[in-house]
Amino acid sequence: MKDYCTLYIVRHGETEWNVKKIIQGHEDIPLNKKGETQAIELAKKLRHIKFDAVFSSDLIRAKRTAEIITLEKKLAVQTTKMLKERYFGKYQGKSFADNNEMSKLINNLKTVTGPGVREVENDQKIISRMITFLREIALIYVEKTILVVSHGGPMRTLLIYLGFATYDNFTEGQINNLAYIKLKSDGIDFLIEKTDGILIQ
């Protein structure tokens, strides 16, 4: 499609906190060995794609994933806070399984209110930074293909915002590590062409 930028938005590889179901948020947790292997496998899968630039969240799990995917392509990874995972405040470092309050909150983050949870970044804030970034990139890289490495929270929020899914059929745990969204944008509108590793009920 002429005058469109093609974006591959990828979730980072597995970390030990993913395995243990611990809330990461802005905690800077590295990839585990499986996470690095997952990134290598996706690099092979996307080998035929000519990426013109690569951007990632400034958290190490995303940056390292981007580095592995683009290693053979010799592209410098540019990091930004706009692609960061949701900020979970006091819940960072705590278990999903052992925290009933967080389990209820996680699947309904359109707004966050109430004592003790206002510090959690809500979906309006996430989509504002995510969409702003993607639109800027689409305008700068017209007719180019861009790799973007982010996190499950922002990717889920983006898909709901674009009408691909709803809060009812798309919970936080339905985006696999190294899942990706392929979409096109002219800097205003977005067209989802493909998803891989994303489970809609």
- The catalytic residues are 12, 85
The rounded distance, in Å, linking the Cα atoms of 113 and 187 is: 32
The rounded distance, in Å, linking the Cα atoms of 20 and 13 is: 14
At 100, phi and psi to the nearest 5? -60, -40
The structure tokens listed for 62 are 């995303």
Give residues with Cβ within 8 angstroms of 128, minimum separation 6.
none
Nearest of 103, 97, 181 to residue 146 by alpha carbon: 181
Q: Rounded to the nearest 10 degrees, how much is the dihedral formed by the CA atoms of 11, 16, 17, 20? A: 120
The rounded distance, in Å, linking the Cα atoms of 162 and 146 is: 19
